């Protein structure tokens, strides 16, 4: 069946031609009008020339990088309201200090970015139904994730929600424990280093609560000392994952496995 034509124009600015081409093809199959620029300078010119409804731009580009494009676009009143998805598909961390406040609608940080995931996000941006077969909300696994880092919090929260989880993202231990006092999730994921109350402290309180002690838990932290891993196990954590060594897809899969 041919896709229903959509009115939205989408511009992809991506230096990796093969990946950019796959995204364009996937968007066209979905009915969007999609075009590709493989150079940042050319991409910025196309933004002015075509006034797209959405821009997908990589941070690493020849000619002009994604941050420079964001800065110039954000300074132009005619362009500032066009939503942007910022991509990092080459394993390069996103430098949030170079992202103008409010300039990016979605972050896609994944070495092996999935075109199906991009399509889901684009459809959601324009209010089109998700026909990807995502689980019904009544069947979603309830996940509590405690993480105070703003960047990883933003990116991974969107990834987990898009992957079908009913997510409560707590910024600190107090928020988490207040939510857990009234809710029993399917799994709990904890950072370790946080102000006020560490992940170890939260885990200890969770396992001391008869309502929560059977809930599977995972540590997601950049601490990787063997003593930290052993302490987490002693306190009852089923898994220990090092953030810097795991892709977004791997984290999502580990959380899915935790919820089984």
> pLDDT of 170-182, one tens digit each?
999 999 999 999 8
What backbone phi and psi angles, to 5 degrees, belong to 9? -100, 130
CB distance 99 to 66 below 8 Å: no
Q: What are the residues whose beta carbons fall under 8 Å from the beta carbon of 136, sequence distance 6 or more?
A: none
Task: Check pLDDT > 50 for residue 136.
Answer: no
Which 3 state secondary structure label does DSSP give 55?
strand
Q: For residue 155, what are its two tokens?
A: 């990116």
Burial of 55 (0-12, 13-18, 19+ CB in 10 A): buried
**Residues 8, 5: Cα–Cα separation, whole Å:** 9
Going by C-alpha positions, the residue among 76, 143, 73 that lies closest to residue 105 is 73
pLDDT band at 110; cut points 50, 70, 90: low
Report yes or no on whether pTM surpasses 0.85. Answer: no
Q: What's the distance, CA 234 to chain centroid?
A: 31
The pLDDT > 90 percentage for the chain reads 60
Share of the chain above pLDDT 70, in %: 92
Mean pLDDT of 154-171: 88
Is-contact 190 217, C-beta < 8 A?
yes
Model pLDDT, residue 190: 97
Dihedral sign for Cα atoms in the order 55, 60, 65, 71 = positive
> Is the predicted pLDDT of residue 1 greater than 60, yes or no?
no
What are the structural domains, with CATH classification, of the chain?
Answer: 9-126 (3.40.50.2300), 137-259 (3.40.50.2300)
């Amino acid at each position: 069946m041919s896709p229903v034509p959509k009115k939205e124009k989408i511009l992809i600015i991506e230096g990796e031609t093969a990946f950019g081409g796959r995204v364009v093809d996937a968007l066209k199959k979905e009915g969007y009008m999609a075009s590709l620029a493989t150079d940042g300078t050319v991409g910025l010119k196309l933004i002015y020339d075509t006034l797209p409804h959405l821009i997908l731009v990589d941070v690493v580009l020849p000619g002009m990088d994604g941050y420079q494009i964001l800065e110039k676009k954000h300074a132009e009143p005619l362009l500032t309201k066009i939503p942007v998805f910022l991509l990092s598909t080459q394993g390069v961390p996103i430098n949030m200090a170079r992202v103008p406040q409010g300039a990016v609608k979605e972050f896609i940080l994944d070495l092996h970015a999935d075109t199906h995931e991009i399509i889901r996000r684009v459809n959601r941006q324009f209010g089109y139904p998700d026909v990807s077969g995502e689980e019904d909300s009544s069947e979603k696994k309830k996940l509590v994730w405690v993480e105070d880092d703003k960047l990883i919090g933003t990116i991974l929260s969107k990834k987990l929600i898009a992957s079908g989880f009913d997510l409560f993202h707590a910024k600190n231990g107090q928020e988490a424990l207040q939510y857990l006092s009234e809710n029993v999730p399917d799994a709990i994921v904890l950072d370790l280093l946080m102000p006020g109350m560490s992940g170890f402290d939260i885990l200890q309180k969770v396992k001391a609560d008869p309502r929560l002690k059977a809930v599977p838990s995972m540590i997601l932290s950049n601490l990787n000392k063997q003593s930290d891993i052993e302490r987490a196990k002693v306190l009852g954590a089923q898994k220990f994952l090092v953030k810097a060594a795991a892709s977004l897809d791997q984290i999502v899969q580990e959380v899915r496995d935790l919820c089984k």
